[in-house]
């Protein structure tokens, strides 16, 4: 089932020495990342009011069998969960 949180949910991430996500923590649950299946970066329209957004997205699968779309806000250095497929 796909869940789309209304707003991106803040999450805590544990990174590897290569700065790759290893584990994510959301609503007091810890998910161990099995594989990063895709990643991409998005930068928004820098010339418009509101300023630029820079995000690094990851699609990850977890040992629990879920698939998460998470991203790192590269400007604020914070992590968010955007979609869950479980």
Partner 1 sequence: MAYVELHCHSYFSLLDGVSSPEALVEAARAHGHTALALTDANSLAGAVRFWKAAQAADVHPVFGAEVTLAEGASLVLLAQNQGGYANLCQLITASRLDQMATDGDGDVADEWPGKIEARLTWEWLYQHADGLICLTGGRQGPLDAAILRHDFAGAASHLQRLQEIFGPAHLYVELQHNYLPQTHWLNAQLAGLAQQFELPVAATGNVYYAHPEYARLRDCVTAIRHQQTLTAARRAGHLALNSSYSLCTPPEMARRFAPYSQALATTVEIAQRCRVSLDFSQQRFPPFVLASGRNEFAELYERCHTELARKYPDLNPLVLSRLAHELQVIEGAQLAGFFLHVAHLMAHAASQGIRGQGRGSAGNSIVTYLLGITPIDPLAHGLLFERFLSADRFTAPDIDIDFDTNRRDELIAYIYEHFGRDHVAMVCNHVTYQARSAIQDLGKVLGLPPAELVALSHSVDAHSASAAAEQLRTRLPQDAPAHHPLRLLCELLPQLDGAPRHLGIHNGGMLITAQPLAQLAPLEPATMPGRVVVQWDKNAVEDCGLIKLDVLGLRALNVITDALAAIERSGVEAPDLTTLDLADAEVYAMIARGDTIGASQVESRAQMGFGPRLKPVKFTELMMQVAIVRPGPIQAGSVNPLLRRRAGQEAVTYAHACLEPVLHDTYGVLLYQEQAIQIAMAAAGFTAGEADLLRRALAREDEATIFGPLRQRFLEGAAKQGIDAAEAQAIYQQLAGFAGYGFCKSHAGSLALVAYAHLWLKRYYPGPFYVAILNNQPMGFYSPEVIINDAKRHGVAILSPDIQASDYAYTLAYDAKGAPHLRTGLRAVKGMGNRAWAQIARVRQERPFASLADLARRSKVPPDLLETLIMAGALDAFGERRQLLWQLKQLDLRTHTLALPAMEPDIALPALRLLEQVAWEYELIGYSAATQILALYRPQLRQQHILSSWEVKEAPAGQRVLVAGLTIVVQRPGTAKGVTFQTLEDEAGTVDLVLKPRVYERLRAIVRGERLVVASGTVQREGGAVNVLVGYMWGLSAISGHPTR
Binding residues (CB under 8 A) for partner 1: these are: 18, 36-43, 45-51, 54, 56
Any idea what the Cα angle at residue 19 is, between residues 16 and 22, rounded to 5°?
40
Q: Which is nearer to partner 1, 57 or 78 (CB)?
A: 57
Nearest to 55 by CA among 3, 8, 4, 22: 8
As a whole number of angstroms, the distance between CA 86 and CA 29 comes to: 14
Q: Which is nearer to partner 1, 23 or 54 (CB)?
A: 54
Shortest distance, position 42 Cβ to partner 1, whole Å: 6
Shortest distance, position 27 Cβ to partner 1, whole Å: 27
């Amino acid at each position: 089932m796909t869940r789309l949180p209304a707003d991106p949910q803040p999450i805590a991430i544990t990174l590897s020495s290569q700065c790759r996500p290893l584990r994510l923590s959301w609503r007091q649950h810890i998910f161990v990342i099995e594989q990063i299946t895709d990643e991409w970066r998005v930068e928004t329209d820098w010339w418009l009011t509101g300023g630029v957004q820079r995000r690094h997205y990851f699609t990850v699968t977890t040992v629990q069998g879920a698939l998460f779309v998470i991203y790192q806000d590269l400007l604020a250095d914070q992590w968010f969960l955007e979609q869950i497929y479980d």
